[in-house]
Amino acid sequence: MKKIFLFASAISSFFFYSCDYVGNPIPPVNANLDDTSTCNAPTFPTITSHVKKILIEDYTGHTCTNCPNAARKLEDLDTTYDGQIIALGLHVSGYALPNAGSTGGPSGSYLNDYRTSYGDAYDTYFQISNAGLPKGMVNRTPYNNTTYTHRKNWWEWAAAVTSQLGQAPKMELQIINDFNATGQKLCSHIKAEFLTANTGTFKLVLLLAQDSIIDWQFDGGVNDSTYVHRHVLRDAITDKWGAVIATGNISASHSIITKFAYKIPNDYKNIPVDMHQMYVIAFVYDAANYEILQAEHEKVIP
């Protein structure tokens, strides 16, 4: 009898834990998205000289003592390759928890939460913070979810950038932002033009980043209350995995123009927004291997 009871309890617990009930199948839509019908189409300038731009994602956290080294490397690269680096800081993992006291900082320090569901999703999918921070990705390439070759230490970034910049640009990406300060409504117009013939599915992702936020950072064992956090991811305008802009056999010079409307809130998780420091970051990637074809950024208020 005892044996039967043991089996029965093992089996019934299996019952409860092996079912996922989905109440709402539709992924949540960003409440900040707005109506695009009043966004007037701009004229995109003709570009004849194409430049490859690279997205560098710096996965970081405010209590991660070595992370500022990566941030400084990113600034170096930005200076070296002026205009070709699109930088993005993503606060993820336990290092990004609002966590007073863990570094010996004073009360009231490290209470802000810079994490986003989008950053967390990328972190989980690309297995970044699992291997310890700081880590990052350069154009999310070469993607391999077994050996994680896309996950790079900051001292490996420079080589990856050189290698990426050695390739001819496959796409021209333009952003024209139109911001109405009264309603805080941002109309973001995107033009993506393929420069070479391509086959596959290509997705466009639009993110919103805030530059130069001054807040606590544990930097080389020191609690710094005036650390400048650069290019911090605050929200996504598209889905985190983007929207398909082209699929199948795509000819060179094929172009797509699309627009997004977004109402910028006054704060995210009670961390104030400075409209003059807000950037739209756009990139297009190949859905087959996540490699970013082209990236761009543009200030919300020029």
Partner 1 sequence: MKLLNCALAIFLISFFNISTTYAQSTGEIHGNFQADVQYYIPDTAIGADTIPEKMLMNSFANVIYTKDKFSAGVRFESYHNALLGFDSRYVGNGIPYRYATYKADELEVTVGNYYEQFGNGLIFRSYEERGLGLDNAMDGIRVKYEVCKGLFLKGIVGKQRLYFTEGEGILRGFDGELQVNETFKKLAEKKTRVILGGSFISKYQAQPTGAQYVFPENVGASAGRVNIIRGNFRLTSEYAQKINDPSNDNGFIYKEGQAFLLMTSYAKKGFSLTLNAKHIDNMGFRSDRNATTNDLIINYSPAFCIQHTYLLAALYPYASQSNGEVAFQTEAAYKFKKGTKIGGEYGTEIKINYSGANSLDTAHLNDMESSRKGYKTNFWGVGDQLYFRDFVIEINKKFNKKVKATLVYSNQNFNIDVVQGKDGKPNILSNIVIADITYKVTSDKAFRIEMQSFTTEDDHSGNWAAGLIEATIGTNWYVAVFDLYNYGEYTDELGHKGYADYNKIHFINASAGYIKNANRISLGYGKQRAGVFCVGGVCRTVPASNGLTLSITSSF
> Which residues of this chain interact with partner 1, rule CB under 8 A?
3-4, 7, 11, 14-15, 17-27, 125, 203, 239, 241-242, 287
All residues at 6 or more sequence positions from 85 whose CB lies less than 8 Å from its CB, including other chains: 53, 54, 56, 74, 77, 78, 161
CB of 2 to partner 1, least distance (A): 11
Q: Taking the complex as a whole, how short is the minimal distance between the CB of residue 140 and partner 1, in angstroms?
A: 12
Of 150 and 229, CB closest to partner 1: 150
Task: Give the burial string for 255-277 (b: 16+ CB within 10 Å, else e).
Answer: eeeebbbbebeeebeeeebeeeb
- In this complex, which beta carbon is closest to partner 1, that of residue 68 or of residue 242? 242
Smallest separation (angstroms) from partner 1 to the CB of 9: 13
Handedness of CA 35, 253, 247, 285 (dihedral sign): negative
Contact 278, 181 (CB under 8 A): no
42 Cβ partners below 8 Å, 6+ apart? 176, 178, 189
Q: Which is nearer to partner 1, 22 or 31 (CB)?
A: 22
With respect to partner 1, which residue has the nearer C-beta, 11 or 168? 11
We find the least distance from the C-beta atom of residue 18 to partner 1, in angstroms, to be: 3
- Shortest distance (Å) from residue 90 CB to partner 1: 16
Quote the least distance from Cβ 23 to partner 1, whole Å. Answer: 7
C-beta of 10 vs 168, nearer to partner 1: 10
First-to-final CA distance of the chain: 76
Give 75: exposed, middle or buried? Use CB within 10 Å, 0-12, 13-18, 19+.
Answer: middle
Residue nearer to partner 1 on the CB measure, 21 or 107: 21
Residue 158, burial from CB neighbour count under 10 angstroms (0-12, 13-18, 19+): middle
